[in-house]
Structure formats: C-alpha cells, structure tokens
Structure 1
Amino acid sequence: MGQRADVLEPSAETHAVLLDDVADILRTVRANLDMDIAFVGEFVGGTRVLRHVDAAREPSPIRAGDAAPLSETYCARVVDGRLPELIRDTGEFAAARSLPATRELPVGAHLSVPIRLSDGRIYGTFCCFAFEPDAALGQRDLNMLRTFADIAARRIDKDLKLGSVRSEKAARVRAVLEAGGPTVVYQPVYLIDGLRVAGAEALARFPMEPRRPPDEWFREAVEVGLQTELEFAAIRNALAGYREVWRGHRVQLGLNASPATIVHPRFPDLFEGYPTDRIVIELTEHEEVRDYAPLVAELACLRASNMRIAIDDVGAGYASMRHILAIRPDIMKLDLGIVRAIDSDAMKLALATSLVNFAGQFNCKVVAEGVETEGELDVLRCLDVQAAQGYLLGRPEPVAALLRRLSRG
C-alpha cells in the first residue's frame, strides 16, 4: 500500500540517515513487545514517510521509503487524539476500523507515540503493531515505548541538525557554482636561471561570504559530495582565462586537481581545444590514496596527450612521498614549509638537497613554492632547483597583470 518516498519532494531538513542505533532501538522494542512490525515514520507535509522499519518476518508488508497520505494513517489519528496511543484491539475503535491499513496489513493491535524534537516540533511517530489483537498489552508497554521513542528522538534530532549543517554547506558551494565561480588568479612561476617567466599556477579564489581560505571551500565541497563539480569549475575558468596568454606566449599552466577528480570519466573533456603540451596537472591530495591503479592509468592517458604531472607540497607529509613513488611525476613541487628560511635552517637544507638529488636521478624537475626572500632564492639556485614561485617573484594576479608581466620579458 502507499507509494515509494522517492517519488516525493523530500523535506528540506531530512536527508540524514537514521543510523544503526535507531534500527537497534526498533528491533529491541518490537522484540520485547512481541509485535510483528515496528517503524519510525516522519511527517513530510501531508505525507507520512517510513524512515525505518523492523519486521519479525519477511516479506514485510511495509518497507522503509513507503509513503501514504497522513490522513490515512494511525500516526495522524494518534497525534491529533482521535485514537489512543495504546490499542489492544483495533476492532473496538471506529476511527481505526475505517483506515485501509487495518484491513490491508492487517493491524490488530497498535502502539504509537509522537517523536518530539528538542525544539518541540513533532517529527513523526514511533509505532509498533501486531497483525492480531493483543489483550495483554498494558500501560507498562506504552511507557517502555515512550522511553525508547525519547532515545530515538535524540538520535534523530542530532542527525537532522547534522543534515541541516550539511545542507547549508552544499548551498554555499552551489551558490559559487551558479554564480560562475570560483574566480581564478595566476601566480607566476619563474625559471631560476635568468629569472624568466615559465608559466603560472592557477589558483581559485572565493570573493564571497563567508570569507575564508580557498582550501576550506574545497574541503567543504568534499564533505557534501561536490568536490568534482567545484574542481571542474575552477579548471574550466582557469583554462578560459589563460587562452589569451597562450595566444602570444608559449608558457605553461599548472592546474590543481585531486585524485578523485582526475579519475572522473569527464576529466579529459575539460582540455579539448587547449594546448595540452603546455598544461601541468598538479596532484593536490594530502590523504592516502588507497588504490593507485585507476589514478596511474588515467595519468598515463593524460601524459599520452603531452600533459605533464606534478606532485604538490612535496615534503609536507607521507602522502606526497607515496604519490612520488607510485606516480613517478615529471615535476616535484617543494612545499613552502621546506623552502621558508632554508637559508638559515640546516635541516631544511639537508632535506631539500636530498629531494633535489632524488629528482635528478629520474629526470624529474623541481619547483620551489613559497619563496619570499633573496636568501631563499640564492640557496635554491645553488641546489640547481629549476623553477620557483612565491611572493618574492610575484603574487597571484589576474590574467591581465600576468600578460603585462610577460610582455616585460
């Protein structure tokens, strides 16, 4: 009976999953009361949607996701007082006999209490029913149901709040995408020998509220399942903005992408119509990649189109070192934590020296990030690091400013 909830417009608040502890509560209550079915139903507008169901035997006549008009449910009639919370025999109540479920399921005995959230709203009901009447049901059973309903309400309340926070995060990211964002700036990358501009790294910016670093926006996109969409948008905008640069200058463009985005089937489509031999894909991921095979296969396809692969933030953690061994990059980008004060820190100098020597063994180029002083640049030059970027050489800037920089030579 009823319809599946997936054909309904979901409530604005409820996409939270009722976790295993709610399922355990249902199972415990149903078993202790020796009932056939227990369920949690949510009131969504004029509809009652079953969010979780526990049945003594399969097949169950109702399942999670089933929906029915609220007016045709025991739930509504218990909440509005037309039916009592404890019904030993539904045949004794006209308001129960008139419900289709009484005959179709059937419902012989019924227990139901409202699930009240912390703000006083009624979420729905916590219900149990048996196919046959049960004269043994009493106030003690109803009290137990109320106790467990209160426990379930706290769990549901927490899930709803988490779901609301998640919805707010998703809305912020979607607002960026709908506005055509993120915007993109370009930080120049210089060849250390001769200090000539070799290209730039595209960096996403979010000039909207809440004001916060770009990595927080991307982290939030990951949390709400919008990572690929946001990274795709940043790459599309970066490529479109750089088209004017490529018209007059044969320079490279570094594009940041996570492994999850790189292995997406539509990732190669982003580069159609662009000079792939001037594109560097910078792998940005600080978490462990569990299975490198799909990533390595996709990177091989990108390399076949003459793109180069860089590992970002080398030296920042264990993940970047695993990337190097698995991916064998064309470029290693030294993390700014190593570069900063390298001219006065013997340990950083030793680590950088080892990484540069390691890269040289495999014809891998090295780019230093976060160069801010002449002293740092001098040390990097002595180490034979090929290229560098940082505030000393040039801050992230709009494409028009980068074009002026390139025109100056």
Structure 2
Amino acid sequence: MQHTTTGQKAGADTLPIALSPQVTESIDRVLTAIRSHLRMDVAFITEFLGSSRIFRSVDFTSPAGDVEAGNVVPIASGYCQHVTAGRLPELIADTSTVPLAQTIPETRQLPIGAHLSVPIRVDHGKIFGTFCCFSHRPMPELGQPELDLMHTFGRMIALELTKDIERDAEQRRKITQVHNAMWSGDPDIVFQPVLRLEDRKIIAVEALSRFAAPPRQTPDRWFADAADVGMGGMLEMLALRRAVALCRDLPRGVSVNLNVSPNTLLTENILHVLHGFDPRRVVVEITEHEPVHDYEPLLLALKPLREAGIRVAIDDAGAGYSSLRHVLMLRPEIVKLDVSLTRGVDHDPMRQAMAAALGEFARRTGTIVVAEGVETTAELEALMDVGIPEIQGYILSKPQPMADLLKMLKPN
C-alpha cells in the first residue's frame, strides 16, 4: 500500500518542499519497485526539516507505527540521522548484530530486523533526507548488490526532487519579495488622467501601482509573481484600498479606474473596499494576469458590481485574441485600446484600420472607447480622425501622485 504527502503536517520546524504530482507519482513507483524487488515490508523517503524529519512518501505491506506519509518526527528518532552521520551502516542485514541499532526504540517497536538507508543528495551534495526500506525480520542475504541498487534509485529520486526543489525555491523567492514589498510600503499609487476629446475635459483617472522594492521589475510582473504564489488577491486588494482612500479628494465629476484581475473578482469583495465611495464613479478595468476559461462565474461576480453602478472596462483591447473575447463575452461599458494599437497609429494604415474597426464596434454597441498610450499630437489627430472619443497617455500627463493630480484638476 502506498501513501504520499505533497505538503506539511503541523510540527515541522520549516516548510517542506512542495512536490508536484508528477514527481510524487515517480517517487511512488520507485518505492513500490524497490520494496517489492528486495522483499521488504516498508519503503519510504524522508525530508530533513531542521530538528525534524517528515515522511514524504511511504509504501508498505502493512502499517508500521509512525512511518506514515505526512508524519513529522524528531530527526534524532529512528535510523536516518545515524546513517547520514556515519554512526550506523547504510546496510544492516540483521539489526540484532548492531549494538547501536538495539538501543533505538523503533527497532523493537516496529520492529526492524533488516534495514537499508541511503542519503538523498541534491544541490551540490546537500542532504535532502533519506531513502530507506526495512524488513520486520533479519535478511542475511542482503549484500552490496542490494545497497548499490538503493544508491542507484536514490540518485534517481534526487534527480526527480531537484526539479521541484528549483521550482519551490523560485516560489519561495517570489513570496519573500512580495512580502518584503508590502512591508516596505509598496505599492505606491499614482494616477493618470483620461481626457474626453469632445470638450477637452478630464473625466476619469486610472489608479496605477508602482513598486520601489527590489527587484526592479514592472508592476505587471509584480502582480503576476504574486498571483503565481497565491498572493495575487492580497496584493490587488491592498492596491485597491490605497487607491480608493486617495480618490476621496477627487472632484465629484471625475471617475476612478481600478485594475482588477478576473481571479480577484471571483474571490474578493470589491464593493467592500469602497467604504462609502460612490460606486457610480468607479470603473473596474479587467486585467489579464491569467486566462479566463469559464465566463459564467465571472459574469455572476460582476453582476452585483454593475447593480451598484460600477462600470466595466476591458483593458488592452486589440493586444490579442483573449482581450477581444473579453469584449464579446463580458459586454463592457468601456473598451481601452492597447498601446500597441495607438503607438505610431498616425503613420500605420493597419493600426488606423484596427482602431477604426474597434471604434465602429463601440459606436454600434454603445461602448466608450479609450485609446491608451497616446504620446504625440500626430497620434492624437489620427485617433480623432477615426472617431475615438477619449484618450489617455503622456501627451496629457504621465502618471502622478494624487497631490499633483489635484493641482492639475484645480480650476484656474
């Protein structure tokens, strides 16, 4: 019978490596093969965790005491630490002939008559834990060939584990970086205005996150890293709360655009962060940190927001198939043209045609189109020629702190 754990039970001093299903299945097959081939009763691997060790995978003919996947025991218990420290041999054909083995409680409790154990070495010889098997009865036939086989399979397990160890290290690095960024005060929130061309009036601002903590990377990368390690909702909600708090000083005729990923819309209460801020002045810009496979739950999540007066915008429209699919499936009130369409639109007939097509689609469906990333007068004029009603970009203003934005919005 086989039992495997991919996580941690309470009691470990440190977090165990997260094992992928593929690596777990591979290790399970190795344990079953070695236990059956050597006619042992129990085979297992352990991971050393500070002063503890955790049984990561166990294969047995019948349960054997605490040798159960997920159990965390003191590292000093059992044979493992004695073997890696050289106090016990890796091969014990008959434990009754080894004085130290006779002093170990598990020898009689389980019982252990014969024992094989080899260290699992990863990352330049670092010991991950041990690969072990034992029989309840002595096995005098065990010898060097059996031990060599254990070493061979131990190296195979180490190679499999290395894949997950590297991935786990990357995950932990991201977790640490996101935690450090939040503790240091990130994200800082800046705002970029949206201009209605008809009357040259600023009618909205987009709240944008900025990060000062290392490493130097784009805000999109920060949010993607947070999402990769299950912290995306936490980081997004922190940014939303800070943005809403700063927007309370905006003139009443100015709306605020808040970037929210589909997953956060599904898992968090967006209305809760408004804290009395008029939802009719809020636009939720749906970003793409992850693909949307099923739109029905997302539409249900958007329903109470829309009922409260919040409008929906699709960000980066035209950047790819998925953004256009968002437009068709979510029926937004606002579509924001991606900067890849607006950049150089004044001298590129293809971009002009795409912008005009999206503009015509918006007019027929009652949707507002905003062109992002407008930097030059020529780009602005080209967008006006194809009927784009609103723009956002450096030609108007770079993203700036709320205090500077309020000065810009102050009537002369």
For the aligned pair, the TM-score class normalised by the smaller chain equals over 0.9
Alignment partners' CA distance in 2, 1:350 and 1:109: 78
Which amino acid in 1 is paired with 2:98? F
- Asked whether 1:333 is paired with 2:339, we answer no
Moved more, 223-232 or 9-18: 9-18
CA contact (8 A) 2:317 2:323 kept: yes
- Asked whether 1:35 is paired with 2:40, we answer yes
What's the offset of the Cα at 1:167?
1.2
- Asked whether 1:207 is paired with 2:212, we answer yes
CA contact (8 A) 1:181 1:233 kept: no
Alignment partners' CA distance in 2, 1:111 and 1:257: 54
- Asked whether 1:72 is paired with 2:81, we answer no
Provide TM-score, normalisation by structure 1. 0.93
Distance 1:288 1:162, change over 3 A: closer
Alignment partners' CA distance in 1, 2:190 and 2:66: 58
| 1:295 corresponding residue in structure 2 | 298
CA contact (8 A) 2:369 2:390 kept: yes
Q: Per the alignment, in what secondary structure is the counterpart of residue 249 of structure 2?
A: helix
Distance 1:328 1:5, change over 3 A: closer
Which amino acid in 1 is paired with 2:341? I
1:3-22 alignment, distance < 5 Å: 6-11=9-14, 14-16=17-19, 19-22=24-27
Moved more, 121-130 or 323-332: 121-130
| 2:281 corresponding residue in structure 1 | 278
| 1:140 corresponding residue in structure 2 | 145
| 2:320 corresponding residue in structure 1 | 317
- Asked whether 1:222 is paired with 2:216, we answer no
What's the offset of the Cα at 1:90?
2.1
What's the offset of the Cα at 1:11?
2.5
| 1:263 corresponding residue in structure 2 | 266
Gaps of 5+ in 2: 1-6
| 2:188 corresponding residue in structure 1 | 183
Distance 1:239 1:78, change over 3 A: same
What's the offset of the Cα at 1:60?
8.2
CA contact (8 A) 2:287 2:314 kept: yes
What's the offset of the Cα at 1:326?
1.2
| 1:377 corresponding residue in structure 2 | 380
Alignment partners' CA distance in 1, 2:177 and 2:259: 21
- Asked whether 1:239 is paired with 2:240, we answer no
Q: Per the alignment, in what secondary structure is the counterpart of residue 6 of structure 1?
A: coil
Alignment partners' CA distance in 1, 2:62 and 2:35: 12
Alignment partners' CA distance in 1, 2:8 and 2:178: 27
Distance 1:313 1:224, change over 3 A: same
CA contact (8 A) 1:48 1:73 kept: no
| 1:103 corresponding residue in structure 2 | 108
Alignment partners' CA distance in 2, 1:368 and 1:60: 67
- Asked whether 1:82 is paired with 2:65, we answer no
Distance 1:266 1:100, change over 3 A: farther
Q: Per the alignment, in what secondary structure is the counterpart of residue 248 of structure 2?
A: helix
Alignment partners' CA distance in 2, 1:272 and 1:252: 16
Provide TM-score, normalisation by structure 2. 0.92
Alignment partners' CA distance in 2, 1:13 and 1:46: 13
CA contact (8 A) 2:208 2:399 kept: yes
Summarize deviations over 1:366-403 as a string: whole Å, max 9, x none. Answer: 11111111122122223222211011111111111111
What's the offset of the Cα at 1:186?
0.3
| 1:304 corresponding residue in structure 2 | 307
Query: Number of paired residues?
Result: 404
Alignment partners' CA distance in 1, 2:409 and 2:123: 61
| 2:4 corresponding residue in structure 1 | none
Residue 168 of structure 1, aligned match among 168, 173, 196: 173
Summarize deviations over 1:290-347 as a string: whole Å, max 9, x none. Answer: 1111110011110010000000000000111111111100000011111122222111
Moved more, 263-272 or 182-191: 263-272
CA contact (8 A) 2:13 2:49 kept: yes
- Asked whether 1:91 is paired with 2:96, we answer yes
Instruction: State the percentage of identical aligned residues.
Output: 40
Summarize deviations over 1:40-71 as a string: whole Å, max 9, x none. Answer: 11222222221222224569862221122222
